[in-house]
Amino acid sequence: MAERELKKRTAPQKDAPEVEEEAPATSERGERLKAEIDDLLDEIDEVLEDNAEEFVRNYVQKGGQ
């Protein structure tokens, strides 16, 4: 188990530079991420099956392996 605990300590270090960055950069990245997700959700809203309830209800499969 010793090795594992070592890993547990080292794993977060990979994220360390992000934590140390200036606040404006972090919020800029946050904004960009949010904009990306917004674009994605716009796209999903467009492509998602129109009648969700019927679409899901009609999807019935015969069991397989």
Partner 1 sequence: MAIAKVYGIETEYGIQVVGNADGNPTTASSVLINSYVSQLAGRVGWDFEDESPGRDARGYVREGSMPPEVETHLVNTVLTNGARYYVDHAHPEYSSPECATPLELVRQDKAGELVLARSMAAARRVLPPGEEIVVYKNNSDGKGNSYGCHENYLMDRTVPFARLARQVTVHLVTRQIYTGSGKVGCEASPSPTPAFEITQRADFFEEEIGLETTLKRPIVNTRDEPHADATKYRRLHVITGDANLAEVATFLKVGVTALVLLLIEDDVLSARELVLANPVQAMRAVSHDVALTRPLELVSGESITALELQWELYDAARKYAEERGLAELGPEPAGRQLLERWEAVLSGLESDPASLRHQLDWVAKLELIDAYCARHNCGLDDHRVAALDLQYHDVRPARSLFQRLDMERLVTPAEVEAAVTSPPRDTRAYFRGECLKRFGASIVAANWDSIVFDLGDDPLRRVPMMEPLRGSAAHVDTLLDGCSSPAELLRRLGA
Q: Which is nearer to partner 1, 28 or 39 (CB)?
A: 39
> Site residues for partner 1, window 4-63 (CB under 8 A)?
4, 7-8, 11-12, 14-15, 37, 40-41, 43-44, 47-49, 52-53, 55-56, 58-63
Length, in residues, of the chain = 65
CA 38, 42, 47 angle in degrees (round to 5)?
A: 145
**Residue 6 falls in which region: left (phi positive, over 0), alpha (psi -120 to 50) or beta:** alpha
- For partner 1, the binding residues (CB under 8 A) are 3-4, 7-8, 11-12, 14-15, 37, 40-41, 43-44, 47-49, 52-53, 55-56, 58-65
